[in-house]
Amino acid sequence: MSSKKIQRAGRGETVIALEGISKSFGKVHANRNICLTIRKGMIKALLGENGAGKSTLMSMLAGRLQPDSGRIVVDGSEMRFSSAKDAIAAGVGMVYQHFKLVESMSVAENVFLGQEGGAILKPREMEARVAELAKAHSLEIDPAMRVSSLSMGEKQRVEILKLLLRESRILIFDEPTAVLTPQEGEQLFKALHHMSDQGKSIVFISHKLGEVMSVADEVAILRKGEVIHDMPISEVTSQDDLARMMVGKETFLEVAREEVEEGGEVLSVSGLSGGGMKEISLSLKRGEILGIVGVAGNGQKPLVETICGLQSIEEGEISILGDSWKTFYSKRNVREALSYIPEDRIGLATCPSMDLSDNFLLTTRKGFKKGPWLKRKRATSESKNVVDRFSVLPGQLSSQARHLSGGNLQKLVLGREFFRNPGLIVAEQPTQGLDIATAKAIWEHLVDARKNAGILLVTGDLNEAFSLSDRIAVMFEGRIVDVFEVSDTEKRSRVGLMMAGAA
C-alpha cells in the first residue's frame, strides 16, 4: 500500500451517503437497510457473491431503480433519482459492461451525443474539446477515429469521457476489465487513480480479487443484500481473506488437479477460415483442457459456433470424435457425444419461462424417449439428482429458470451437459460474472469432467485459463497467435502482449 494511497484515504470527505436503503422484488429482498458512504478522491470496491445485491444497489444510485425505503444523500442534501438523467445531473454516472456507442460515428461525436449544444459545434471544435478532456484525465485516444475501429479498451475510454464531459463526480464501473487485455486493464487502473487524485469518487465492482487488492482504497462487501464489511483495503491481508469475508467461510482460489491419463484425439481443426476466422488449426485430446484466450471479438465466437454446429464451415476441416464435421452432425445418435456450455445462459442455454425439469430435458430428452413417449417420471428423478448434486438453489424443479441467479443457472447447465457423458465439452466463459465460491465449484466440475472428455475452454479470465488448462491458445484478429504448455512461464508472461497482437 503506497503512502499516497493512505494519505488520500485519510482525508476524503463524504460526497454520497446511502442511508437505510432497502429494495424488494416480490418476496425477494435484494437490499436490506444498506448504509454506505462514498468519499471524495477514493476508489471504493464493491464485492459480493452473485445475488448479494450489488447491481440493485448501484442501479438505484445510477437512477435506474428507486429504493422502497431509505435515503440517497448527495453533498448533505437528500436526492431522489427518478431516472439516469437525474443521477447524471447530480454528478453520478455509470460505465456498464456493454458499451452504448454508435459504431459509425467518431469518438468526439459519441462523446457529445445527447449533449445540449453539441449539435451546433463543428467537428474540429468537438475533437479539440475531447482531446483536452482526454489529456486532463490520462485517457489517451484519437477524437477523430471511428468507434468501429477502436479496441475494447478504447471504447471504454469513450464511455468514461461521455461521463466526464457531463461533469460526473462519482463514477461507477461494473466489471470494467471483463473485456480488456491485461495491458488495457493496467491503463484503466492508471486512469482511475488519476481521476481519484483529481477528486473524482470511484465505485469499482469486480469479481477479480487481485484487481480489488491493487486498485481500491476501500472495500465494501455485501452478503444476502446487506453490507457486512466496509473497511480500508489496508486492513485486508490477502485475496483469500476477501474471499472468506464474501462467502462467510474459508475459500481458496485454486483448484486441485489430479493427474489424468491422456486419451485419443476428440477434436481436430485444420485451416478453418471464414466468418472472422483465419486459418485456425488446433487439436484436443481426451483428458486435456485447452484454454482459448483473447479479447472478446477476436474470432472466439465463430470458432465455438462452427465446432458446435451452429454455423457451417466455409473453408477448412473439423473432425469431432473421429468423424468429419458433416458426418458427426448427420448422425443423431452421435450428437449426444458433444456438450456445449454457451456464454448466454438465459437465452441460448436455457428457456427462462420453463421450469428446471423441462430445461434439463432441452438437450437430454432423447435419453428418456420410448417411441413417441417421454418417460416423464424417470426424467424428473434424474433432473432432481442433477439439481441436488450440483447444488442448484433453491432446489425446486418447479422453479422457472428466470428466477435463478446466474451462478445457479450455470450449475444447472453444467449438470445437464455432464449428465450426457460427453467425449467433447466446449465451455464458453463458464464463470463470467460469477462470485468466487460458485466459480470454484464450476472449476472443480470442469476438472473432474476431463476424466472422460477433452475440454475446449474459451475464457477471457487469464487466471481461470492458467488454473484449469493444460495448454493455452491465444487468439487475435481471427488467428491463433500461439499455442503453448501452461507450464511455459516465459510465454505465460507474454500472453497479454499476444492478446494485443504482438508476436
pLDDT at position 113: 87
What contacts 241, CB < 8 A, 6 or more positions away? none
Q: pLDDT of 4-55, one tens digit each?
A: 343 444 457 999 999 999 998 877 788 999 999 999 999 999 988 766 788 8
pLDDT at position 5: 43
Average pLDDT over every residue of 402-407: 81
CB-based contact 42:217 (threshold 8 Å): yes
Q: What is the mean pLDDT of the chain?
A: 87
Say if strands 454-458 and 424-428 run parallel, antiparallel, or are unpaired: parallel
DSSP E strands in 129-225: the ranges are 170-174, 201-205, 218-223
Between 37-51, 168-182, 222-236, 255-269, the lowest mean confidence (pLDDT) is in 168-182
Instruction: State the cell numbers at 353.
Output: 419461462
Q: pLDDT of 287-344, one tens digit each?
A: 999 999 987 778 898 999 999 999 999 999 999 999 999 999 987 665 568 999 998 8
Q: pLDDT of 54-86, one tens digit each?
A: 888 999 999 999 999 999 999 999 999 999 889
pLDDT at position 16: 95
Domain spans, the chain: 3-247, 265-351+422-499
Tell me: pLDDT of 248 over 90: no
Q: pLDDT of 453-500, one tens digit each?
A: 999 999 877 888 999 999 999 998 899 999 999 999 999 888 877 877
Tell me: pLDDT of 121 over 80: no
Tell me: pLDDT of 252 over 70: no
CB-based contact 427:455 (threshold 8 Å): yes
46 vs 58: CA distance, rounded Å: 10
pLDDT at position 4: 39
Tell me: pLDDT of 116 over 80: no
pLDDT at position 52: 79
3-247 and 265-351+422-499 in the same fold: yes
Residue 394, preceding bond cis, omega within 30 degrees?
Answer: yes
Q: pLDDT of 370-401, one tens digit each?
A: 888 888 999 999 999 999 988 888 888 998 88
Neighbours of 316 (CB within 10 A): 17
**CB crowding 116-136: b at 16 or more within 10 Å, else e:** eeeeebeeeebbebbbebbee
431 vs 178: CA distance, rounded Å: 11
Average pLDDT over every residue of 333-357: 83
Closest by CA to 82, choosing from 64, 105, 99, 94, is 64
Residue for cell digits 428418456? 368
pLDDT at position 35: 96
Tell me the CB-side half-sphere exposure of residue 341, using CA atoms within 13 A: 31
CATH 3.40.50.2300 for the 265-351+422-499 domain, yes or no: no
Q: pLDDT of 158-178, one tens digit each?
A: 999 999 998 899 999 988 887
Average pLDDT over every residue of 213-240: 90
Q: Confidence band (pLDDT; 50, 70, 90) for 117?
A: low
468 vs 493: CA distance, rounded Å: 17
Residues in the chain: 503
3-247 CATH: 3.40.50.300
Tell me: pLDDT of 2 over 60: no
